[in-house]
Amino acid sequence: MTPCRTLRSIAAFALLALLAGTPAHALDNGLARTPPMGWNSWNAFHCNVSAKLVEATADAMVASGMKAAGYTYVNIDDCWLLKQRGPHGELVPDPAKFPQGIKAVADYVHSKGLKLGIYESAGATTCAGYPGSLGHEKQDARQFASWGVDYLKYDNCGDRDGETYEQRYTAMRDALLATGRPIVYSLCEWGRKSPWRWAPSVGNLWRTTQDITPRWHTDQPDNQYPQGILDILDQQAALSHASHPGAWNDPDMLEVGNGYLSDNENRAHFSLWALLNAPLIAGNDLRHMSDAVRSILTNREVIAVDQDWGGRQGYRVHRNGNADVWAKPMSDGSVAVILLNRGRGPLHIATTAAAIGLKHAASYTVRNLWQHRSHMSRGVIAADVPTHAVAMFRVWPGKHTVL
């Protein structure tokens, strides 16, 4: 082959490789550049959803200071619709729960400067037995867009043989894109088919596990219901590489303020989810929350870890019995770190600036993100951590003033 022909073949090959390596329709909706923040009805209310609840929750999101802290999406989960589609194949909101339909609720939520989310399933039915979107993707997506929906959680019930997971979830991605409305696309296939491998080009976030329950630890094997906070946490340790701005691992919605979780457990859950770049979707009753729960959900120093523009997910540095150390590199060169006491009884837990990946410095500023106080350290980061709790810090090389 002449050098010229060789060059031409190389160029043609490179072009083909480029085309082959580019997914035909990668998700490019420009949304969720940081993990989405909001609320969802399921964890606290299950099927008891209504326009009244959603609107009162939007009010509470504003009044509690959550909106000011960054929460935006008010998301309706399962059971908002009737068991039968309408005469034209359309989804029909349950008139007993949503007497003015979904558009009126979206208008109300938008009037508060917030956004509305809705729920459907990638199978023949939703998990509570309502009509699913399989085979109706285009029509349903158009309906959501016409109502002013801004976020879709897309579940995995009512599965049938025939289509692969990727095909079912991709069909709705394309249907949403075709509406022209910016709609965050949240995949909920429970980590069944390793979505961290294929979902980054399909959705903005993808569930990695079975459903969360408000318990510290359930001892269930991986991916069986129900999963406690530590069960889910342990399944995230290997997934840090998969997320990036616009595409997030979703270890499920928050249980902060639900069940019998203690304040320390709530703080630990919130801290860990922030370090994992998880979507911060509150799952409690925002209309009636304690001051302790409200102040956990609105801790801006912890939220800033989750919302760091660099979007690098935290990872486990070390585990020693019941003591875990987790770290997350921040885009300003600091590192967020969590010392987690998984067990019963207090523990002294320590790590070092070097172990969490900080560059060498004569001293470090160590900021306690729950006590909102800083101290200087030569490099040791340590705390006495009570049972089922965390200490969470952000560490900068040298002197750093936290404004």
CB of 42 to ligand GLA, least distance (A): 5
Q: Give the nearer residue to ligand GLA in terms of CB position, either 246 or 251.
A: 251
Give me the least distance between CB of 83 and ligand GLA, in Å please: 14
Q: What burial class does residue 4 get, using C-beta atoms within 10 Å of its C-beta: 0-12 exposed, 13-18 middle, 19+ buried?
A: exposed
In the residue annotation, 211 being an active-site residue is answered as yes
| Cβ distance to ligand GLA smaller for residue 64 or 236 | 236
> Could you tell me the strand order of the sheet in which 184-187 lies?
248-250, 205-207, 184-187, 151-155, 115-121, 73-75, 37-40, 280-282
From the list 59, 94, 174, 211, the catalytic residue is: 211
Min dist CB 373 to ligand GLA, Å, is 37
Q: Indicate the residue among 199 and 337 with the shorter CB distance to ligand GLA.
A: 199
Shortest distance, position 151 Cβ to ligand GLA, whole Å? 13
Q: Which residue is nearest to ligand GLA (CB)?
A: 127
Closest to ligand GLA by CB, 127 vs 383, is: 127
Residue 134 and residue 305: Cα distance in Å, rounded? 37
The contact set with ligand GLA (CB under 6 A) reads 42, 77-78, 126-128, 155, 188, 211
Choice among 155, 159, 234, 285 that is catalytic: 155
As a whole number of angstroms, the distance between CA 20 and CA 23 comes to 7
Please state the closest distance from residue 221 (CB atom) to ligand GLA, in A: 18
Cβ partners under 8 Å of residue 56, min gap 6:
287
Is 234 one of the annotated active-site residues of the chain?
Answer: no
| Contacting residues for 53 by C-beta, under 8 A, at least 6 apart | 41, 45
105, 116 in Cβ contact below 8 A? yes
When the beta carbons of 126 and 235 are compared against ligand GLA, the nearer one is: 126
Which residue from 111, 276, 284, 285 is spatially nearest to 207, judged by alpha carbons? 276
Return the active site residues.
Answer: 155, 211
